[in-house]
Amino acid sequence: MTEDAMRTRVRELMPRARADLAEMVAFESVYDPTQPAPPDCARMVEWLEKAFTEAGVSDVRSHVTADGSQAVTGHVPGPPDAPTVLLYFHHDVQPPLDADAWESPAWTFTERDGRWYGRGAADCKGNIAVHLTALRAIGDELGVNVKIVGEGSEEQGSGGIEDFVPKNTELLRADAILILDSGNIEVGRPTLTTSLRGIANVVVSVETLASAMHSGMFGGAAPDALAALIAMLATLRDDAGNTTIRGLDSEQSWSGIDYPQDQFRTDATVLDGVDTIGSGSIAEMVWARPAATVLGIDCPPVVGSSASVVPSARARINLRVPPGMDAKAAQDALIAHLHDVAPWHVRVSVEREAIGAPFSGSTEGPAFEAISSAMSSAYGTEVVQQGQGGSIPLCTVLQETFPEAEIMLFGVEEPRCLIHAPNESVDPTEIEHLALAEALFLRDYASARRR
């Protein structure tokens, strides 16, 4: 089949994709491991079993994972000796948040100004629509074996799939893994997300006095725990705002697409007249370098505070760890730094929180070449590479479990989708273009490997 014929076939499948998405958005599949799973999580899984089976996937099954959520798997046999491609999605969604902030109801698929609205329309049900459309379009042009895996608790990070993957390697093993839970840098600009920062949080506590003491009688000589903590936290950045943890490199550079200053200011809602921070480019600061952020401080709140010297205080520090840096070593460096900079021999203790390794996706190899070429063809323009400042622990688990596999991260979640916020939406042309790209990849990857 020519590429044009495939393009036409995908276009003809778009009303079906729209109908699918309308059905999926209506499922309130918000998973919370601390609550009994709502019936809509099970209904969503049943829907997926039916939809993927109808799209030609065999043995579509659900599996209860360690956190109580359900993973969905299945496979499509390809030609003998063909490589295997694993298609990932998640089927839980974020809670709708403030119902009043939605212009149309969160659980009702609504078309407005050419975009499709509803919770999960992009993250990640729009990506499910991409997979279904690609599988329907490919027909007997399939050049690879396909496996699917759908996660049921991605938004909660409760670890169900991270536990499931290493225990189910035969169901999931693949040569190339397409993780559809990311997005283009802007609509119409095909983008692979090739790096994710990891995480290494700590909670630091400072103690100086056995009790809060009158600041008139004792302030000036009594060691103030809050002042000590503030001084310690202040050493985590220099005047320009660069992260300055002793022993941690913070001058890495970024070679993918730039993140334009204006775009970043808008995306990050930076107020007029306020500077962005750091001496690198925006892309370097958010994708390639470490960043320490104080998430919270325990100390007396303003209302109810008394005129006394604070005897103890603590802070949670979030450290984002870029690719190329070891998350545990970064956490060690942060802890040593905090002890080193503590003034006045105050008592310091530091508690470690969970760490997550950074991730680098494939940037060379046959699958990378094949998906880049498929995306370029589908969109009619060159593919760019971006990073993502946050973490997706599953990516690291897949990389550790299947070290030979090429992992590619992309999807329909461009910035205008407002994922996780009220008024989430998806641009249907992104579903169409990415379904075409995925179909072309499923057709051509095997021959790209032979070249």
Which of 154, 175, 413, 444 is labelled catalytic? 154
Tell how far CA 3 is from the center of its chain: 31
- Buried-state track 79-92, b at ≥16 Cβ within 10 A, e below 16: eeebbbbbbbbbbb
Which amino acid is it at 8?
Answer: T
Per the annotation, the verdict on 444 as an active-site residue is no
User: What whole-number distance in Å separates Cα of residue 10 and Cα of residue 340?
Assistant: 60
User: What whole-number distance in Å separates Cα of residue 63 and Cα of residue 37?
Assistant: 14
Contact between 414 and Zn ion by CB under 5 A: the answer reads no
Q: Which positions from 115 to 134 touch Zn ion by CB under 5 A, shown as an x/- string? A: --------xx----------
Q: Which is nearer to Zn ion, 17 or 124 (CB)?
A: 124
Q: Which is nearer to Zn ion, 181 or 438 (CB)?
A: 181
Nearest-approach distance from CB 434 to Zn ion, in angstroms: 15
Q: Which is nearer to Zn ion, 124 or 174 (CB)?
A: 124
Nearest-approach distance from CB 154 to Zn ion, in angstroms: 5
- Provide Rg for the chain, Cα atoms: 24
Tell how far CA 1 is from the center of its chain: 35
Nearest-approach distance from CB 183 to Zn ion, in angstroms: 10
Query: Site size for Zn ion, by CB under 5 A?
Result: 3
Q: Which is nearer to Zn ion, 122 or 338 (CB)?
A: 122
Q: What is the token pair recorded at 91?
A: 């089927």
Q: Which is nearer to Zn ion, 181 or 427 (CB)?
A: 181
Nearest-approach distance from CB 352 to Zn ion, in angstroms: 27
Q: Which positions from 142 to 181 touch Zn ion by CB under 5 A, shown as an x/- string? A: ---------------------------------------x
25 within 8 A of 423, measured Cβ to Cβ: no
**Residues 3, 8, 13, 18: is their CA dihedral positive or negative?**
positive
Q: Which is nearer to Zn ion, 20 or 181 (CB)?
A: 181
Nearest-approach distance from CB 355 to Zn ion, in angstroms: 21
Contacts of 167 (CB under 8 A, 6+ apart): none
Nearest-approach distance from CB 221 to Zn ion, in angstroms: 53
Question: Restricting to residues 180-239, which ones interact with Zn ion according to CB under 5 A?
Answer: 181
Q: What is the DSSP letter of 196?
A: E
Which of 92, 284, 406, 427 is labelled catalytic? 92
Q: Which is nearer to Zn ion, 126 or 190 (CB)?
A: 126
Per the annotation, the verdict on 154 as an active-site residue is yes
- What are all long-range contacts of 366-369, with beta carbons under 8 Å and residues at least 24 apart? 366/406, 366/445, 366/448, 366/449, 366/451, 367/85, 367/175, 367/176, 367/406, 367/408, 367/445, 367/448, 367/449, 368/192, 368/406, 368/408, 369/448
User: What whole-number distance in Å separates Cα of residue 341 and Cα of residue 83?
Assistant: 54
Nearest-approach distance from CB 123 to Zn ion, in angstroms: 4
- Buried-state track 294-313, b at ≥16 Cβ within 10 A, e below 16: beeeebeeeeeeeebbbbbb
At 387 the three-state DSSP class reads strand
Query: Which residues contribute to the site for Zn ion (CB under 5 A)?
Result: 123-124, 181
**Catalytically annotated residues:** 92, 154
